[in-house]
Structure 1
């Protein structure tokens, strides 16, 4: 008898105390509370979202290094969401009993997915620097104006063979990300009372969204480093052959995320504070002890058997379905964010090293400010879920006019291709993009060849003491001399106004983020919350984030005016130059249409909100719990036995 009690006591300790298996040291108890878990989970979310922000900055470089077009880079993002749908459908019910275990495993899969493409930098080819000797100045007319020899410069075509590593890596990443998105939210909901759950959710969301602009800035910083971490002699950041250290911004946060995943795994299946919350829910008829014990102890067979009936029950919840459809159309619209750094770089002539910090400050700041405002609103007002539904419907509708801020952009001059000064005498090719700038006229030429240049010179226009290599005798350039790189932006004020308007849109839209997530937790009964999150994620990904990158990738490629064309077989690679003015108009039209549809379904959710849920108020006795009781594990049930 005593042996049986000892085994039960040991099992209870493993359920409620931090550690692995039989190792449950007492010094970890100080971390076994909702506040510390929220902090660790938030920091982990931060480091696991940073590589995504880095990826968006380095997309143009990846297109060049691996010879990809926008649809192919969109396919990388799509593989992320395809695996997310599979995980949502197959795995969601399994998360209920072992939430922490699946959250930790999910984080490890995210790290593995990010690291898959990183190792390719050890085996792929990069271009060698072009020096004055390599240009062969004695016969520079043949190498410049009549087309530079491309021997050895088909490295991008050979690198294309490693494209599959990005697909496989992001398939793993999407599969792993499903657990923190579903089981993570439910675990937080179990350890916090309703009023505090909104704040905890805001903290996690803020850290996650801070990771996005931080990733943009980090990626831009490392894009100023050479890919080998040592700048070759004769090469500068503006050189056509320069490739930034795209892999470093992914590697560093992934390694940190790897170690944080093991810290998350230390947390127990049922935290002591969750027992207090559960006891309060039992007292007020929101949940029963039997339901919770069944959830924690259900077997694989029981989980599988319940899956279809659970989904069928949720599909009969009309308001939940409208809410999911609203998020589907919102996810379709925000899929354009994947291409934001690339688009803004083209709209305002920004470089890979500057676009990240600019977007991070403006749009990243908009995300964060909106989420903080939304979290404080939910905490202070204690509105019922139906009122919160109306709030994020209104915010979604009000944000629409600010989407048109993207229409303000720099007027673009297409690089001259077939013009009299180079067309008759030069044999130029668009296979490789070597942009050069005429400082006097501010015109960017596709390459020295298209500028009509026939010699290499030292350019002293900007700095007489430290001149840089440039090209001379350029028949198309006003000054006769051009230097490497595109001409800089000449409309910084327009860019600031455009970014300010679109940032206001971000603040308004994401002020409803916390309300939206609270409603998703309250629109179904306690026992259905994990499976409801699974339905949400699978629908959002299958109908929203999967087709979105392909939709916008197709739209962006549609307005390409100059493609990389192989001189060997004539095949097309990545796009060099876009008709940005027409492209941004149609992108805005599509965004506005999708946002209107999203707002419509949010309204339908509000008008059909169910009135028969056990827990249908954000303001109820559950939030009136003594703080000391909350951090204690003492309650009247055997599951809530006080720790020894």
Structure 2
């Protein structure tokens, strides 16, 4: 009993010292729960794999009890080894062939540009929505998962079903992917309308009289009402006055005393708060109002429609990537495409995008050692121009090479665009009008693969 009482006392003291709420930008919640949930899901999905046999029988290999199966399986393994040696030997020939494939190379360029845009949007979306609409990070992440993941999954499924049901050809798939992506791109400009003003913080975005500032000026942090308080100007413990104006700290609000403890603390007799009330303040920033909350709902609805439209065209677009290569090049081509997206898009994009967003910071936090910490307040107008403008510019630039792909595809003949009786060898017709750099001498392994008449 004594131990339990001591634990309760420590928890009470801890909560008593806590002066920030979950809506505060400094709040760090149970971030580790997401890792536990993902780990549990991965464990559950791995269970069926334990029931697979050690080796899978190949087609035509049956256990007839006379040793024939072992001989066929051994022969099949030798054949696989020879093919693997041929693939390794012809690696540079495959690379040269892919580099001379104009549709494939332009598709990689488009993918890199698009990944740069989308990585930036999704990486910094919680921070943007938090600053734009005044919601907590936990609430924003929950709304993103609730509103955006289902339409993305649904779009992928429906896109795949449409491709299979109507047997869409490669050229038609390219047009479908292009127009759906362009429609979603034009729809994204509606987000510029769903905007809110900066948080009204005295000395940062507004004056102590409530007049908005066009730019941040360091000297405006102090005013006549708080100069005698000897306040620190680099602290960030925001309070909301009953006049609807926020202050960086209770000291800068000119408050003389406080009532209550923890998150229920109320500051009174604040000389900088000019209101008809008792000039008091509570912890946290002031809310942006119901109008801004409604704009967040409209923004999420537009995001739902946009995510669905874009994911609907993702499968036709990926089909163009697969079918613009010959069968022996597919594995290397897909790997090279993914490699370029991760290296040229996934790594540098958050770095330069984050550096641009940091330039819009109005107030940096300070660590106990005196070093600068995380940004506490952004100029939301500059933030919005970078967050929405840069991805829009990148995606707009990607549609120009996409038009070149549509033009180039008219010069090629793909499997499915001709009668089934004339598909003999379909893959070679794909490259019949390619440039001379693809006419390389192939090894016997490549020639045998080309003579299989494999359909893409």
Per the normalisation by structure 2, the TM-score is: 0.71
Quote the offset at 1:567 in angstroms: 7.0
Quote the offset at 1:299 in angstroms: 8.4
- Aligned pair 1:475/2:271, yes or no? yes
Paired residue secondary structure (1:420): coil
Quote the offset at 1:421 in angstroms: 5.2
Distance of aligned partners of 1:270 and 1:399 in 2 relative to their CA distance in 1, 3 Å threshold: farther
User: Which of 221, 226, 235 in structure 1 is aligned with 2:18?
Assistant: 235
- 1:332 touches 1:548 (CA, 8 Å); kept in 2? yes
- The separation in 2 between residues aligned to 1:266 and 1:603, in whole angstroms, is 48
- Aligned pair 1:508/2:309, yes or no? yes
Paired residue secondary structure (2:272): coil
- 1:326 touches 1:601 (CA, 8 Å); kept in 2? yes
- The separation in 2 between residues aligned to 1:358 and 1:534, in whole angstroms, is 33
Quote the offset at 1:550 in angstroms: 1.3
Residue pairs, 1:378-527, within 5 angstroms = 378-407=163-192, 408-417=194-203, 418-420=221-223, 422-429=225-232, 431-438=234-241, 440-458=242-260, 468-477=264-273, 478=275, 479-490=278-289, 491-527=292-328
- 1:129 touches 1:242 (CA, 8 Å); kept in 2? no
> In the alignment, which residue of structure 1 is the partner of 2:155?
370
Quote the offset at 1:271 in angstroms: 6.1
Quote the offset at 1:232 in angstroms: 3.8
User: Which of 533, 543, 558 in structure 1 is aligned with 2:359?
Assistant: 558
- The separation in 2 between residues aligned to 1:618 and 1:500, in whole angstroms, is 42
- The separation in 2 between residues aligned to 1:618 and 1:580, in whole angstroms, is 55
Paired residue secondary structure (1:608): helix
Unaligned runs of 5+ in 1: 1-127, 132-230, 277-291, 460-465, 622-644
Quote the offset at 1:483 in angstroms: 1.7
Residue pairs, 1:520-539, within 5 angstroms = 520-539=321-340
- 1:560 touches 1:577 (CA, 8 Å); kept in 2? yes
- 1:130 touches 1:235 (CA, 8 Å); kept in 2? no
Deviations, residues 205-258 of structure 1 (Å, cap 9, x unaligned)? xxxxxxxxxxxxxxxxxxxxxxxxxx7455376176753111121123124314
- 1:422 touches 1:449 (CA, 8 Å); kept in 2? no
Quote the offset at 1:370 in angstroms: 2.9
Distance of aligned partners of 1:322 and 1:507 in 2 relative to their CA distance in 1, 3 Å threshold: same
- The separation in 2 between residues aligned to 1:354 and 1:317, in whole angstroms, is 46
User: Which of 588, 603, 606 in structure 1 is aligned with 2:388?
Assistant: 588
Paired residue secondary structure (1:561): strand
- The separation in 2 between residues aligned to 1:396 and 1:299, in whole angstroms, is 39
- The separation in 2 between residues aligned to 1:485 and 1:253, in whole angstroms, is 32
User: Which of 572, 590, 606 in structure 1 is aligned with 2:372?
Assistant: 572
Unaligned runs of 5+ in 2: 1-9, 61-75, 204-220, 422-456
- The separation in 2 between residues aligned to 1:391 and 1:251, in whole angstroms, is 39
Residue pairs, 1:94-109, within 5 angstroms = none
- The separation in 2 between residues aligned to 1:467 and 1:587, in whole angstroms, is 33
Quote the offset at 1:534 in angstroms: 0.6
- Aligned pair 1:331/2:115, yes or no? yes
Quote the offset at 1:614 in angstroms: 7.6
Distance of aligned partners of 1:427 and 1:254 in 2 relative to their CA distance in 1, 3 Å threshold: farther
Distance of aligned partners of 1:295 and 1:553 in 2 relative to their CA distance in 1, 3 Å threshold: farther
Distance of aligned partners of 1:355 and 1:390 in 2 relative to their CA distance in 1, 3 Å threshold: same
Residue pairs, 1:18-417, within 5 angstroms = 232-235=15-18, 238=21, 242-258=27-43, 260-261=45-46, 263-264=48-49, 267=52, 275=59, 296-297=80-81, 304-335=88-119, 336-407=121-192, 408-417=194-203
Equivalenced residue count is 371
Quote the offset at 1:364 in angstroms: 2.8
- The separation in 1 between residues aligned to 2:127 and 2:179, in whole angstroms, is 31
Deviations, residues 480-525 of structure 1 (Å, cap 9, x unaligned)? 2222222223122222222223332222222111112222222212
Distance of aligned partners of 1:295 and 1:544 in 2 relative to their CA distance in 1, 3 Å threshold: farther
- 2:128 touches 2:387 (CA, 8 Å); kept in 1? no
- 1:561 touches 1:577 (CA, 8 Å); kept in 2? yes
CA RMSD of aligned residues (A): 3.5
Distance of aligned partners of 1:545 and 1:413 in 2 relative to their CA distance in 1, 3 Å threshold: same
Paired residue secondary structure (1:327): helix
- Aligned pair 1:608/2:408, yes or no? yes
- The separation in 2 between residues aligned to 1:404 and 1:575, in whole angstroms, is 27
- The separation in 2 between residues aligned to 1:519 and 1:293, in whole angstroms, is 33
Quote the offset at 1:129 in angstroms: 9.4
Paired residue secondary structure (1:425): helix
Deviations, residues 16-56 of structure 1 (Å, cap 9, x unaligned)? xxxxxxxxxxxxxxxxxxxxxxxxxxxxxxxxxxxxxxxxx
Paired residue secondary structure (2:171): helix
Deviations, residues 53-84 of structure 1 (Å, cap 9, x unaligned)? xxxxxxxxxxxxxxxxxxxxxxxxxxxxxxxx
- The separation in 2 between residues aligned to 1:559 and 1:296, in whole angstroms, is 57
- The separation in 1 between residues aligned to 2:418 and 2:184, in whole angstroms, is 26
> In the alignment, which residue of structure 2 is the partner of 1:544?
345
- The separation in 2 between residues aligned to 1:295 and 1:611, in whole angstroms, is 37
Quote the offset at 1:610 in angstroms: 8.2
Distance of aligned partners of 1:451 and 1:322 in 2 relative to their CA distance in 1, 3 Å threshold: same
- 2:159 touches 2:314 (CA, 8 Å); kept in 1? yes
- The separation in 2 between residues aligned to 1:233 and 1:534, in whole angstroms, is 55
